[in-house]
Every structure is written in C-alpha cells, then in structure tokens.
A and B are shown apart, each in its own frame.
Chain A
Amino acid sequence: MNPKAAVVVYPGTNCDRDTYYALELAGFTPEYVDWHGDVKGYDLVVLPGGFSYGDYLRAGAVAAREPVSKSVRVYAERGGLVLGICNGFQVLMEMGLLPGGLLENTSGTFICKWVDLEITDTDNPFLSRFKQGGKIKLPIAHAFGRYVKVGDPNVALRYVEDVNGSDEKIAGILSEGKNIFGLMPHPERAMEKLLGWDYGKNVFLSILDWIRGGNRVV
C-alpha cells in the first residue's frame, strides 16, 4: 500500500493541486485536509504554497492559528514528517516549528524563476537521494522569501547565487529533530522533464524511501 500523505489546504492555498499531483507521481496516496481538519494518522504532512488568507496580515500568520495547524503541531512534536513549501514554510515559521523569519525579497518584487541550489545536508528523511554538496535546479516563486537567521539552524539547501537576500543564501532548513523541512523553492514543480528539470522528484522519493525503510525520527 502506498504511504498516505496529507495536503493541508487553507483558504488561499494555491499549490495544493500541484502538490497532490506530485505526490501521486512519486507513489504516495495523497488526500486533502482542510483548515478545519486533522492530520493524525498520515505518513507525511505537506503544507503547500500559495497565499493563505491572502497573506493579508503577514504571510502564513493567520493560517498558523487555524485548528488544522494545531494538529500539525501535535503531529510534528510526535516526530511525524512535515514538509512546508513556500507559504507552507512561512506557516511553519509562524507556528514556531522552524526557527527564523521570512521577509520581503531585497528586490521588493515577486520573483519566479528556476534557481541553482546546493544540497548541504543529506542525512535526513527529505534529501537522502541527493549527494552532499550536489547542485540541483528548482523553481522559486515568492515575494517574501528572504530568510533571516535566528540561532543556528540546520541548513539543508542553499542558493548557489544570491536571489532574494537570504542570510547565508539559505533556501531550506530542517528542525532540530530533522523531521520538519521548510523550503522556499518548489520541488512539486520539478517532477517531469517536460516542464524543465525533475530534481524535485528525488525529494518525494527520499521521503518514500524513509517511510518504506521503517525509519522513525528520534
């Protein structure tokens, strides 16, 4: 049986269908869980990109206080695998599950493009299929992606060139227990060569390996 993945949908989430499609391609059985829902019982929880609540107060700020987010916290604290992409990363940070902050790009504009990235940690459930120090391409699409460091985060992904002004070119970080991964680039947009590059697939396949291997965090 395929592992079950929850795709969390807030009002304004707009990468939910893309994430669902990517998870299916990778071999998961995805299900949508809306903002009233509960993520208990899933093998993986994904917080997709978009503009939850229009990003009107602050990106991810309202979503972080919804009932489903409380269940994500319980799930994460028990060691469950949580992947936050773009707005999902912003939500995880607003919930305090990942350290730091995400501010407006130094360009002051939304940026949508393929960027080069370096894998800086492969000893985790999300990136085990990559080589340490390997270079990959993934798309970014955000206005508020400038990562600002607090403390000493577990950096898993760095931009090769500065694209948005992030501290130390940080593009993605892991929680202390490495069961939570937040990143600004969109792996779910990089699943098929038809659309450019397919490096994103290995993110989802790494997670699949991890779950199938019967690993538990902590």
Chain B
Amino acid sequence: MSFKYYDELKKRLGREPTPVEIEAFTVMWSEHCGYSHTKKYIKMLPKAENAIQGNAGVLPIDDKWAVVFKIESHNHPSAVEPYNGAATGVGGIIRDILAMGARPHASLDSLHMGDVTEGIIRGISDYGNSIGVPTVGGELRISEFYKHNPLVNAMAVGIVERDKVIPSKASYTGQVIVLFGGATGRDGIHGASFASEDLEGEKATKLSIQVGDPFMEKQLIEAFLKMKEEGLIEGAQDLGAGGVLSATSELASAGWLGAVVYLDRVPLRESDMEPWEILISESQERMAVLTSPEKAERIMEIARYYLLETAVLGEIIQEPVYRAVYKDEVIMEVPISVITNPPLEDVYPYTPGEIPEFKHIPFEKVEPSNVYFQYDYMVGTDTVLPPGFGPAIMRIKGSEYGYSVVTHSRGDLGYQDAYWGTYIATLEAVRKTLAVGAEPLGITDCINYGDPDENPEGLSAMMHGLKDACEFAGVPVVSGNASLYNTTGGKPIPPTMVIGLVGKVKLAEIVKPHEGDVYVIGWDRFSSAYERVIWNVIRKLHSCGCFIMAPSHMESLQGYQRTFSEYGYTLHIDKISAAPAHSKIIVVCNDNRCIENVDSKIPVVKVGVVEKA
C-alpha cells in the first residue's frame, strides 16, 4: 500500500511504523480527516466573533437559541454506490450536528451529476424522510463534467439552547468513553482514505462504502437527546471518517489528554474482524460520548431502551498517548498529537485577475420540484417558506426569530475561473438570503476539487475567492469540509465550491408569495459594486412588502411557476435573458410606490404578473 506521508510518520515516531499504524495513519492523515491541503487556507477565512467553537459552527439566534450547521461531502462513495453513498452522507452530517447537543432541524443537499442518478436521490429521500428531519432545499446540477465524479454534499442545521452546547473534548482523567449505536462491521474500512484519492485508485471498491440504516439513526438521535436531557453527556463525537480511532483520539487530544480504548469491547456485526479493522471501520449510526464512571450505566440503559448496541469503550488518561488494546494486548500506542496533527501543505501563492467574460456553459436544468416533492420538507412543522423559491425559512418554536438556509454553487463559472467562480457563488448566496428577508449569519463551505498535488493553484484560487467574498460581504465562515482528488483517470471536476449560508430572520417580517406585477431589477453583468447596490435595493423592497427571488440562472423559471401554483397563484413571466454572472433580481410587487422609489440609475423592467389561480 502506498502511503504518501510514510517518511514523515517514521520521523515523527522515531521508528519504523507498524502495519497497524500504517493503516491508522493512512486514514487519519487523509484529506478527509486531516485537512492536510486545506487547513492553512481555512485559517485565513474570517471567523465569527460570537461563535462557540466545536466540530460545527454554533451561532446565536436569540437569547435562548443557537443554530449549528455544517456541510460535508460524500462524493467518492456516491460514485461507486449511489444509494448508500448518498444516504450515509445525510446520516453522517446529521450526527455531526447531533454531537454538538443540537436537535437536527433541517437538511439540504447539493448534487452534481452527469445525468439524474435515481439512486442518489432515492438514497437521500429514503434516509432523510425516515429520520424525521425535513429536507428543505438543495441544488441539482447536471453536467458531463460530473459524469464519473458526482458530487454529493449534504448540509444539516440543528437548534440548541445556547447554554446546552456539548463540547467535543475530554475534560478530566478517568472520564469514560461510552460507545452506542449500530454494531460495527467491515463496511467503510478505509472510506476516508478512499475519499482522498483518484477514483481509479486501489481503494475504489464497494468494500469502502458505508451502508446506512435510517431506523437506527432515528433511534440514535432520540437516545442521544434523552441522555443530554438527563445531563449525562460531558462530551461527544460522532463516529464518521476514521471510526473509533478518529472520534476517540480527537476527543482526548482536544482536551490535551490521552486515551485508551479496548477494541474487544466493541459490539461487532462480523465476529472475525481484525483489531485494526475495528479501530478504523466506518460503520454508520455510532456515537461516542464522554461521561463519569457513575453515569455510564444510565447511558447504556438508555441506549438499550432505544434498541442500540452499547459498551464502555475506554477511558481518558493523563499520559498524552493513544493506546488501542485488544484482549490485553496493546496493538498500537503512539503520541496522541501525532494522530491529530497531520502534516500540513503550505498555502500556494495566488493573486486574482480581472473578472473574465464568462461563457454560458449549459448545466442542464432539472425541474427541482420533481426532486423536492420526494423529500419530506414539512416534518417538524417548522418550515415557513418551503423549497422552490430559493432559501427555505425555518422557524424555531417559541422564538420570534427563525433562520433562512440555502446551498449554492457555480461549477460552471468555477470551470472558467476558480477564484471568480467561488467569489460569485458566495455573493449570490448572500443575494438569495437577503431576498427572503434574512440577514446572513454564517457560511459553511464544501470544497470540491480535483488533485491539489497536480494543480495547487486552482485550490488556492478557490480559497482566496471564498476569503475575499466573505470579507466583502462581512459574513464569517463557521464550518466546512473538503473533498479533494475528485478525478477519474487524472481528469478533474471543475473547481466547485458549495456554499451553505444561514441567515437570521424575524418571523413577523417574512413576505410570502403574493399577487402583483413582476419586475427584473439590476444589471446584466456582475460586479462587486453593483452587488452592493442590489443588496440595498433588496432590503428596501423587502421592507416595502415585495416578494423577491434571486436566481443565478434566469433562462428557465418553470420551477417558480410550479411553486407559485402550489400556493394558489399563477406566475406569468416573459423570457428573461441573463449573462452567466449578473447582478439582478426578480421582484413581485403590488404597490407601485415601492418600485418608483428605486434609484433611477438602476435598470427596472416589468416582465410579468402574478395572479390568483
């Protein structure tokens, strides 16, 4: 097996790594776990001053509630096994949110593929619908560019009482680690390292694919929240990429402590598993929590009530080492900081050029309502603005505030210019958020890229584009994920930065779809200066009671027509031509004075009408 950082590992350990260590570090130092290529870029991004740090961004909504959100890729598994790849992508990000102590409240996706892959859509629908978390939005983009490397990015938002966020770190020696959830099998072994290589690489087999069980996930969610309610959880980390090894080493290391885990205690689905397989298996629907020895029994009782497997997996120790034991034999012992501090690649210098004249690259337009009607977007009874208009709006019961949420990307522009593609996608997400009457709170980003060793400049361009756009808009990046090596036979996907943007909205100020004249307002080319003007126009028109939509593609508006008809309205609209990147919006207004007050320097064209059906 080839392991890129073998020499580095040997140097850090001061000896030859054992075969178990090579298996372990191949996972932990993969891009998916270790962020070797992206960590230094991530450090450049603007941070939220009011965020509570952890494994997902936490931002306050009001005096009581905070939102937690994160996006994650599941590209490589979905390429090999669309159904389970996509399903477990949803499951994984939901657990990430849950581990913070938040109840999963909304999920979204961003899908790019060569043609509509039913397996992917079905995987998301079957899993998401079953666990009772509404799928409230997403994007579906079809292009040959993604034929061999589909992108499946899943985002989740959770809500949590501000003072009840669960830390993802150990806090004292003798704290015990309790594992619960589904039984552990061989599925997903080396999933993380497979996710960090070319699709024709040696790990691209179905063995690397995780298999999802949404029923188990639902039980896990309820069990975890019950434990939290009883005050039993002192720290938590879901088991995702890197399995037991990743979750437990991160918990200990974040608290500047060590850990010992007993692998023979892990409930197995396949009894003949090797100890190293137990250590790195990526079987789904599992969670590790930290608690005191006294509270551990009650945790296991709750897990069993919810029909889950459970065991005391290990404990936190003073010595800063990670020790994995199997039947009284130490199978691996290394300084814990070596695991959680992978080698980091340097930032590649980049200076942006002028905005290019973008060409239309046709990404086939799929009627999105065909997809979102397959998702339960209403369960939870908090969906105020449903999918189909842009960002969805969710309320929080008992609060006068809610949040907007959207996923957005521009791979078509990214293909032409990685920097500007990312920059424009980010500002468009801001435009969409303002259009529904929300103010941006924070961004979670999913970097989807080809091979950074082959072409480091494109990755750098994306990261600089994100940084500059966030600084321009004054929006922090609170969490994110990177999927690199999206190549097949050396051919990369277009640099595709997916932006997940959450905004804060006052429920009393929401404008719902209504009758009125329809206008296009703004310029048919994109510029930062135009954008700034348009954002102010949006704010003014929204407070005037106008309903605003901000599509990046205006050629086909059938989706809006269908969504309006769901609301009992008919949208009549002329064909609108638009440049691939523009700074304009569509406004439905039933009071002419609102439009008359728009600055006369800004282009305004009447293009249609919304009537009662």
Chain A residues close to B by CB (< 8 Å): 11-12, 14-15, 17-18, 21-22, 49-51, 53-56, 109-114, 139, 141, 143, 186, 188-189, 191, 194-195
B384: A residues at CB distance < 8 A: 194-195
Asked if B67 is at the interface (CB within 8 A of a chain A CB), the reply is no
A21: B residues at CB distance < 8 A: 381, 397
B378 pairs with A139, CB closer than 8 A: yes
Please tell me which stretch of B128-136, B270-278, B344-352, B453-461 contacts chain A, meaning at least 4 of its Cβ atoms lie within 8 angstroms of it. Answer: B128-136
Asked if B375 is at the interface (CB within 8 A of a chain A CB), the reply is yes
A12: B residues at CB distance < 8 A: 130, 215, 218-219
Give 16 A-B pairs besides A21-B397, A110-B376, A112-B372 with Cβ atoms closer than 8 angstroms. A11-B306, A12-B219, A15-B132, A18-B379, A21-B381, A50-B132, A51-B130, A53-B215, A54-B213, A109-B374, A110-B374, A112-B377, A114-B566, A143-B129, A188-B381, A191-B381
Q: How far is the CA of A14 from the CA of B376 in the complex (A)?
A: 11
Asked if B6 is at the interface (CB within 8 A of a chain A CB), the reply is no
0 or 1 for each of B31-71: is its CB under 8 Å from A? (1 = yes)? 00000000000000000000000000000000000000000
B218 pairs with A111, CB closer than 8 A: no
Which 6 residue pairs are nearest across A and B when measured between Cβ atoms? A14-B132, A54-B215, A51-B130, A141-B376, A18-B381, A110-B374
B218 pairs with A141, CB closer than 8 A: no
A38 to chain B, nearest CB (A): 17
0 or 1 for each of B359-399: is its CB under 8 Å from A? (1 = yes)? 00000000000001111111111111000000000010100
Q: How far is the CA of A14 from the CA of B395 in the complex (A)?
A: 18
Q: How far is the CA of A116 from the CA of B268 in the complex (A)?
A: 49
B183: A residues at CB distance < 8 A: none
A141 pairs with B129, CB closer than 8 A: yes
B608 to chain A, nearest CB (A): 24
B374 pairs with A111, CB closer than 8 A: yes
B380 pairs with A18, CB closer than 8 A: yes
B375 pairs with A112, CB closer than 8 A: yes
A11 pairs with B307, CB closer than 8 A: yes
A14 contact from B125, B218, B375, B566, Cβ within 8 A: B218
A14 pairs with B131, CB closer than 8 A: yes
Q: How far is the CA of A31 from the CA of B374 in the complex (A)?
A: 31
A56 pairs with B380, CB closer than 8 A: no
By beta carbon, the residue of chain A nearest B375 is A112
A111: B residues at CB distance < 8 A: 373-374
Q: List 29 A-B contacts (CB under 8 A).
A: A11-B306, A12-B215, A12-B218, A17-B380, A18-B380, A21-B397, A22-B381, A50-B132, A51-B129, A54-B130, A54-B213, A54-B215, A109-B122, A109-B125, A110-B125, A110-B126, A110-B374, A110-B376, A112-B374, A112-B376, A113-B566, A114-B566, A139-B378, A141-B376, A143-B129, A186-B378, A189-B378, A194-B507, A195-B378
A113: B residues at CB distance < 8 A: 373, 566
A11 pairs with B378, CB closer than 8 A: no
A194 pairs with B395, CB closer than 8 A: yes
A49: B residues at CB distance < 8 A: 379
Q: How far is the CA of A17 from the CA of B134 in the complex (A)?
A: 13
Question: Which of B214, B372, B378, B397 has the most A CB atoms < 10 Å from its CB?
Answer: B378
B221 to chain A, nearest CB (A): 10
B214 pairs with A51, CB closer than 8 A: yes
A110: B residues at CB distance < 8 A: 125-126, 129, 374-376
B397: A residues at CB distance < 8 A: 21
Given that A110-B125, A194-B507 are contacting pairs, would A141 and B381 also be in contact in the complex, using a CB cutoff of 8 Å?
A: no
A56: B residues at CB distance < 8 A: 215
B432 to chain A, nearest CB (A): 21
A15 pairs with B379, CB closer than 8 A: yes
A135 to chain B, nearest CB (A): 12
B526 to chain A, nearest CB (A): 35
A54 pairs with B381, CB closer than 8 A: no
A54 pairs with B379, CB closer than 8 A: no
A14 pairs with B507, CB closer than 8 A: no
A51: B residues at CB distance < 8 A: 129-130, 214-215, 218
B214 pairs with A54, CB closer than 8 A: yes
By beta carbon, the residue of chain B nearest A14 is B132
A189 pairs with B215, CB closer than 8 A: no
A116 to chain B, nearest CB (A): 10
A195 pairs with B381, CB closer than 8 A: yes
B131: A residues at CB distance < 8 A: 14
B373 pairs with A11, CB closer than 8 A: no
B354 to chain A, nearest CB (A): 45
Q: How far is the CA of A189 from the CA of B379 in the complex (A)?
A: 8
B392 to chain A, nearest CB (A): 12
Q: How far is the CA of A139 from the CA of B376 in the complex (A)?
A: 10
A56 to chain B, nearest CB (A): 7
A22: B residues at CB distance < 8 A: 381
Q: How far is the CA of A188 from the CA of B381 in the complex (A)?
A: 8
Q: How far is the CA of A109 from the CA of B129 in the complex (A)?
A: 12
A83 to chain B, nearest CB (A): 17
A112 pairs with B373, CB closer than 8 A: yes
Q: How far is the CA of A109 from the CA of B226 in the complex (A)?
A: 33
A26 to chain B, nearest CB (A): 13
CB-CB contacts below 8 Å: B112-144 with A: 122, 125-126, 129-132
Q: How far is the CA of A195 from the CA of B136 in the complex (A)?
A: 13
Q: How far is the CA of A113 from the CA of B375 in the complex (A)?
A: 9
B556 to chain A, nearest CB (A): 21
B214: A residues at CB distance < 8 A: 51, 54
Q: How far is the CA of A189 from the CA of B375 in the complex (A)?
A: 15
B383: A residues at CB distance < 8 A: 195
Q: How far is the CA of A109 from the CA of B383 in the complex (A)?
A: 22
A189: B residues at CB distance < 8 A: 378-379, 381
Given that A51-B214, A51-B215 are contacting pairs, would A14 and B378 also be in contact in the complex, using a CB cutoff of 8 Å?
A: no
B389 to chain A, nearest CB (A): 13
Q: How far is the CA of A139 from the CA of B381 in the complex (A)?
A: 11
0 or 1 for each of B85-108: is its CB under 8 Å from A? (1 = yes)? 000000000000000000000000
A186: B residues at CB distance < 8 A: 378
B84 to chain A, nearest CB (A): 15
B547 to chain A, nearest CB (A): 16
A195: B residues at CB distance < 8 A: 378, 381-384
Q: How far is the CA of A191 from the CA of B122 in the complex (A)?
A: 30
Q: How far is the CA of A139 from the CA of B383 in the complex (A)?
A: 12
Question: Which of A49, A109, A191 has the most B CB atoms < 10 Å from its CB?
Answer: A109
A14 pairs with B130, CB closer than 8 A: yes
Q: How far is the CA of A184 from the CA of B168 in the complex (A)?
A: 41
Q: How far is the CA of A3 from the CA of B7 in the complex (A)?
A: 72
A111 to chain B, nearest CB (A): 6
Q: How far is the CA of A53 from the CA of B213 in the complex (A)?
A: 11
B94 to chain A, nearest CB (A): 13
B125: A residues at CB distance < 8 A: 109-110
0 or 1 for each of B142-162: is its CB under 8 Å from A? (1 = yes)? 000000000000000000000
B307: A residues at CB distance < 8 A: 11
B395: A residues at CB distance < 8 A: 194
Q: How far is the CA of A14 from the CA of B132 in the complex (A)?
A: 5
B129: A residues at CB distance < 8 A: 51, 110, 112, 141, 143
By beta carbon, the residue of chain B nearest A111 is B373
Q: How far is the CA of A111 from the CA of B132 in the complex (A)?
A: 15
A17: B residues at CB distance < 8 A: 380
By beta carbon, the residue of chain B nearest A49 is B379
A11 pairs with B381, CB closer than 8 A: no
B341 to chain A, nearest CB (A): 40
B372: A residues at CB distance < 8 A: 112
By beta carbon, the residue of chain A nearest B383 is A195
